A and B are shown apart, each in its own frame.
Chain A
Amino acid sequence: MSLFSFLFSPRPKSAAIAKERLKIVLAHERASRDAPDFLPSLQKDLLACVGRYVQIDDDMIRVSLGKSGETSLLEINIEIAGAKAKSGAGAAAAV
């Protein structure tokens, strides 16, 4: 049976794989191309601000601009699980 399926199951055509990969990568690239210029610097400022209270890494803040119907949606995700409160700023961070 396995030999049978090995011999006769059609391999996916490579052109179809190419089309799928292109669609995904271009959707991603078009979204970031249309993003306003201020997103990277906003991300940097947020990182500096939040970083005063908790220790976080660059990749723990994600800023993106999406659309929900007619309204633009600025989405900011800050991951602080496992982040250590900085000593001295602990009280402020806990509030």
Chain B
Amino acid sequence: MAQVIVVTSGKGGVGKTTTSAAFAAGLAMRGHKTVVIDFDVGLRNLDLIMGCERRVVFDFINVINGDANLNQALIKDKRNDNLFIFPTSQTRDKDALKRDGVERVLEELRKTFDYIICDSPAGIEHGAITALYFADSAIIVTNPEVSSVRDSDRIIGILSSRSRRAERNEPPVDIHLLLSRYDPDRVAKGEMLTVDDVKEILSIPLLGVIPESETVLRASNTGTPVTFDGDSPAGRAYLDAVARFLGEQREMRFVKPEKRGFFRVLFGRA
């Protein structure tokens, strides 16, 4: 049974696209046929993060309008056979994302994919609402920072009142918290909200904590989902989150300050 997962946050710049790319790649690495769709019409960026920007010919809006079929628009990842990218259009017409068209495309994708990841735009406008409307599960990407937590709370409210599951009185969308850009050193100093603070305030189950990591920028520079970088703490944290999503128990890593060895203290960050 295919599952539609929306990656959303309300606030911009918290790591939705990074998370969509990393999570989709992680699910594919675990053997699940996965497609990741860019819902940010007009501000296409998933293609860059996934490193397939030069292979985009047709897009989501073309398929919705019937100008292209799915097979023409889906881009197969060159690193993993289970992974597909569905880029969005650069049109400035935000209403191009029609709900019945989106529904038709998602239904067709459900036939061939295990997981359909919807990378939501920021905000609570048409694009964001359309991205979350058909979701079975939601990953709320939150930074340990006041405005991000507040906006996450808002989006959680919208998921539980305006999603299709809510409108049809079906079982509610399965909502998960993913805390990203977490800095254990600053948390230890009392300068940043702790994992438990954010969990308590939002009261949704925690899927994972992604540490602030230089490797995230390195991954986006090269167009590589961070989960493909085995050395990266953020990549490993995302793979843990994917495993938890699939029902496995994994201990939370990267939530305590790292013990620095003598030489690391002497010579700075190694």
Q: CB within 8 Å of B: which residues of A? A: 13-16, 18-19, 21-23, 25-26, 29-30, 33
Contact = CB atoms under 8 A, between A and B. Distances in A.
Nearest to A19: B197
A57 to B, nearest CB: 30
B153 A13 contact: no
Nearest to A12: B190
8 contacts: A14-B190, A18-B146, A19-B197, A22-B149, A22-B201, A26-B201, A29-B150, A30-B153
Given A15-B193, A29-B153, A30-B153, 15 more contacts: A13-B189, A13-B191, A14-B190, A15-B192, A16-B190, A18-B145, A18-B146, A18-B193, A18-B197, A19-B193, A19-B201, A22-B150, A22-B201, A26-B153, A29-B150
| Chain B binding surface, main DSSP class | helix
B194 A22 contact: no
A25 B147 CA distance: 11
B191 A23 contact: no
Nearest to B194: A15
B166 interface: no
A15 B146 contact: no
Nearest to A13: B190
A26 B157 CA distance: 11
B146 A21 contact: yes
B187 interface: yes
A18 B186 CA distance: 14
Contacts of B187: 15
A33 B156 CA distance: 12
Instruction: Give me the 5 closest cross-chain CB pairs, A-B, nearest first.
Output: A13-B190, A19-B197, A15-B190, A18-B146, A15-B193
Contacts of B153: 26, 29-30
Nearest to B153: A26
A16 B154 CA distance: 21
B228 to A, nearest CB: 33
Contacts of B193: 15, 18-19
A22 to B, nearest CB: 5
Interface in B177-194: 187, 189-194
A26 B150 contact: yes
Nearest to A23: B201
Interface in B136-153: 145-146, 149-150, 153
A19 B146 CA distance: 8
A13 B201 CA distance: 18
A64 B26 CA distance: 47
A85 to B, nearest CB: 43
B143 to A, nearest CB: 12
A10 B191 CA distance: 13
Contacts of A13: 189-191
A15 B201 contact: no
Contacts of B145: 18
Contacts of A26: 150, 153, 201
B144 to A, nearest CB: 8
